Chain A
Amino acid sequence: MFWRRRKRLDEEVESHLAEERADNIARGMDPATARTAALRSFGNVGAAKERARERDPLYWLDTLWQDIRFAARLIARNRWTSVTIVATLTVGIALNVSVFSLLNRLLLRPWVQSEPETFVQVIPRFSGEYRLRFSDGGMSQPDYVRYHDSAQSLESLAAFRRLTVTLSGADAGSVRAGLISCNFFDVFRPGPPLLGRYLTPDECTKAMQPAVAVLSEPVWRTRFDADTRVVGRIIHLNRIPFTVVGVAPSLSLAEPDNECGVWVPYTMLGTLRPSDEYFADPRAQWLNAIGRRRPDHSLQQVQEELSILARHADEEVPGRETSLLVTNGSLVQNPEIRAKAPVIFAVTLGTTVLLLLLACVNVTTLLLSRSAARQREIAVRLSLGAGRFRLLRQLLTESMVLSGVAAVLAFLIAQRGPAALWYSLMSVPAPFDLSPDWRVLLYCLAVAVTTGVIAGLSPAVESLRPQLSESLKGSSTAVTSGQRRSRLRSVLVAVQIALSLLVLVQAGLFTKAQRRFFSYEPGFETKQVLSVTLASVLSGFDPPVSFYQELESRVSALPGVAHTSFASIAPWSGRNSTEVREIDGKPIPATRDYNRDPARRLVSPEYFTVLDIPLTRGRVFTRNELTSNRQMVPAVISEAMARRYWPGQDPVGRHFRISAVHEVIGVCRDLQSVRYMQDDGPFYYLPLDAHQLKPPYMLVRVSGDTQAAAAAVRDILRRIDPQMAATVVTLASIVERHGERMKPAVFYGAIAGVLALLLALTGVYGVVSFSVSQRIPEIGIRMALGAQRDDVVSLVLRTGIAPVVGGLIAGIGLALALSAVMESVLFGVSPRDPLTLIIVSLLLLVAALGAIWVPARRAAALDPLTSLRYD
């Protein structure tokens, strides 16, 4: 199109000149001069053509092509600089795009593989006077049925709830069960079942005996050895028989450790948990709802229709006000996650953005030294009448082409990068497809363009500064331009130091938080204590008294076991708060705050010995005080409880009433036994009678090898009751397992820190080396005038270190200003931790000095004679 018009113009002008020449000859002109005369009367042929071409709407394409060819020539000429730049940017962009891919997958996209565009999630919120039994974002079963039956804008709506149950068998243990409406798999669409079938609608209406269950692929592989004859077998969930009807492919429904292992009709709730009889209770908001909208209805329309249905539902439940939120099923649209999303993005993507900025600044300094070398060429172009804007575009094209190449490479890396990143962080393969989608592509494009502009703008603008006469005269070290240029470079160094300080501070804080997490003393023994969790008891099974008697006597008889204790709640397993009604017979006002009420834990007398909990006053209960049918149940209270109710007095012998009256017989130290790293607050212990209460936890104090003891305890459990699902771990290993989750962050932070340090150092080194090379004649003069080598070194060091110090100060300021973002992820380490700031600053300062030292030594080693002649 454009090229044709261009050719036509050339031809037209040629024909015009021929006509004019013929006219001139006809007027009697000499044929030799006729053509020249024709050209003269035409004026500047090139300029005319150019003007005509500029009027073409596609002209920019032509010049863009010119610019790209020009840029390509430049890039090819400085091959090694270009390779360095592309490599730096590729790493920066690839890291960014990979992290974004992960966030995109985890937060921005719904957790379904097939047809995510029609997926919806319905999240009800309740207000009003009405008393709810649950309100964790679910809906009641009657409401679900109403929405399911009446919504026209929905193709289908399914409901589910996760529940931990015991899967008995050779290797009894707890699994997560999905209680689902029977159309669940129609909504989730994980593909056909691997074996057998999914649930049928009537299995959610009739009470089937035995009930049916669908296994998940991971459970089928690990617990049933991928047995193809599993369909039709009977399995026991919470000791209730279920017939396996099929095996579903892995759904990776939510976080990998939250995946359901088995699916059963939601009508089985009451059978699985006889104590939870809320199935059809309109007050129990227990079901999560997901669905598929009709393609011709928008999310907005679905939300409007369901809201009308919700209002009808509210009319039948006086005092309740429902507001529905219909989302596309992504986490970021969930209100609870959305509140945290900025912090998640800031801590993860923020770091990679900082790294990319650092890379950009490095590229800027490289381009800047290159543009210094091109000063003369640009001056020639300007004086020949090239437009400044046109030249700016041309210069920017260079950095855009570089960042474009880097972006293409980065996008290729991003095909595999996110999965590799996931693996390096989680040590398991990603449970879902991480290949980039349009959002990732868009992000990559945006990053590439921004990178190109940021990296290229200041060198481009800088090279266009008019120092025509200076540059044309050929003094490459023109003093004036040199100064402005070196000021720009100093700013760039400062920016780099500030940015890398931020990244390093984050890495330092993560490391410190992790150290603090692992070295934390919760106030009791953790390494030599086994925590036995009877999962079957937790999920509602009621073992005979003989089970506890046998367990206690056999475990106590194990070699290396010193003491054992039962407990209603083990450390870090939960909190049971109780309202204190009277102190010493006098009623006290209710706190109205669940979290301020004292927590109760029922324990055997040996609990305090097992855990090494120091007693500050009084005594602990005796075996005789175990029976709970006494008039006055003795209690051991925590110091915090003593301070709350008997400030400044001796609480021993005093009384408090919850439902029964308790006498305080002892006071023990405050612990962090409800949540790790968090004070328990007021706390009291009552004697536990294992024969009456059937506690779900047992604690075992072991001297020596805990692994062997744990294995022995497991063996005893299997012998007493092979169906009993239980876990046996040391308390310390619980801490460790939670700490594992921090390792990715620490690891990632450390990698980012190293990268940032490297980038900043190469940046500082590059800038100082360049400025030394620019100042070679000056250094020569100084040395000729008597400056010593040490003077030269200190000169370079002094000028080099100034922007570094400036950058450190700016970086510390930034780190303090941004500290609020970090607060929530640091486990109590202050984001303004002075020690971290000081160590990081010193590290950067020393490293920067090293990076300046090398070119400084080189400058000092110059021969004054050669450097004077240097140009």
Chain B
Amino acid sequence: MQLLQGTLDMLILRTLIFGPRHGHGIAVTIQRTSEDLLVDHGSLYPALQRLERQGLLKSKWGTSDLNRRARFYELTRAGRKELTVETGKWERMVRAIGRVLQHAKEEEN
């Protein structure tokens, strides 16, 4: 399943809520926890840069599990706040869309 437009940022923020991760780790985590979402690894890095520039993330060099130098990303205070706001919005939207779809189904019956 392809990622919905505009949701990658939210997923990245959500993934980082349990602590710093490097880029590859973020991609793997999203894929694993969602079970069937395909993340285009190539689009991850522009998104990470954007979020960092917006001040939602900060990053520093660290060592990965494989003992490799990697860039670790971490939520900032603003990032946490943004995640709450975005999650709230998303849930309201999902509920709203769900109600519309539900209604349509009932009318069909």
Residues of A within 8 A of B (CB): 8-9, 11-13, 15-16, 18-20, 22-23, 41-45, 47-49, 51-52, 54-56
> Chain A residues near B17 (CB, 8 Å)?
none
Q: B residues within 8 A CB of A45?
A: 42
Verify if B40 is at the interface (C-beta below 8 Å from A).
yes
> Known contacts being A42-B42, A48-B42, A52-B49, is A18 close to B71, with CB within 8 Å?
no
Contact of B45 among A12, A18, A20 (CB under 8 A): A12
Q: Which 7 A-B pairs have the closest CB atoms?
A: A48-B42, A43-B42, A19-B24, A42-B41, A52-B46, A16-B24, A51-B46
Contacts of A13 in B (CB 8 A): 45
Is there contact, CB below 8 Å, between B46 and A15? no
Q: Is B109 engaged at the interface, CB distance under 8 Å to the other chain?
A: no
CB distance from B31 to the nearest CB of A (A): 10
Give chain B's interface residues, CB within 8 Å of chain A: 22-25, 27-28, 40-43, 45-46, 49-50, 53, 64, 66, 68-71
Choose from A22, A47, A49 the contact partner of B66 (Cβ within 8 Å).
A22
CB-defined contacts of A23 to chain B, threshold 8 Å: 28
Which residue of chain B is the closest to A46 with respect to CB atoms? Answer: B42
User: Quick check: B68 and A19 within 8 Å, CB to CB?
Assistant: yes
Complex interface: chain A residues within 8 A of B68 (CB)? 15, 18-19
Note all chain A residues with C-beta closer than 8 A to B27.
16
- Min C-beta distance of B75 to chain A, whole Å: 18
Residue numbers in B under 8 Å from A42 (CB-CB): 41-42
On whether the beta carbons of A15 and B42 are closer than 8 Å, the reply is no
How would you classify the secondary structure of chain B's contact residues: helix, strand, loop or mixed?
Answer: helix
B70 and A47 contacting across the interface, CB-CB below 8 Å: no
- Chain B minimum-CB-distance residue to A51: B46
Q: In whole Å, how far is A12's beta carbon from the nearest beta carbon of chain B? A: 5
Of B22, B43, B49, B66, most buried by chain A (CB within 10 Å of CB) is B49
Q: Which residues of A contact B64 (CB under 8 A)?
A: 15, 19
Choose from B41, B49, B50 the contact partner of A16 (Cβ within 8 Å): B41
When chains A and B are docked, how far (Å) is the Cα of A18 from the Cα of B25?
Answer: 12
A639 to B23, CA, bound (A): 104
Docked complex Cα distance between A513 and B64 (Å): 88
Output the nearest chain A residue to B53 by Cβ-Cβ distance. A55
Question: Told that A12-B70, A19-B70, A49-B45 touch, could you supply 15 new A-B pairs with CB distance under 8 A?
Answer: A8-B71, A9-B45, A11-B69, A15-B24, A15-B64, A16-B41, A18-B66, A19-B22, A19-B24, A43-B41, A43-B42, A51-B43, A52-B45, A54-B46, A55-B50
Asked if B43 contacts A43 (CB within 8 A), the reply is yes
Cα-based distance from A23 to B23 in the complex (angstroms): 14
Q: Which of B41, B50, B53, B69 contacts A15 (CB 8 A)?
A: B69
Nearest-CB residue, chain A, relative to B25: A19
A16 to B21, CA, bound (A): 12
Which residues of A have CB within 8 Å of B23? 12, 15-16
Name 20 A/B residue pairs within 8 A (Cβ), A-sorted. A9-B45, A9-B49, A11-B69, A12-B23, A12-B45, A15-B22, A15-B64, A15-B68, A16-B23, A19-B22, A19-B70, A23-B28, A41-B41, A44-B42, A47-B42, A48-B45, A51-B42, A51-B46, A52-B49, A55-B49
Chain B residue numbers with a CB within 8 Å of A56 are 49
Give CA–CA (A55, B53) in the complex, Å. Answer: 9
A15 to B50, CA, bound (A): 20
CB distance from B65 to the nearest CB of A (A): 9
Q: Contact: A12 with B43, CB < 8 Å? A: no
Bound-state CA distance A12–B22 (Å) is: 9
Is B46 in contact with A20, judged by CB distance below 8 angstroms? no
With a cutoff of 8 Å between Cβ atoms, the chain B residues found around residue A19 in the complex are 22, 24-25, 64, 66, 68, 70
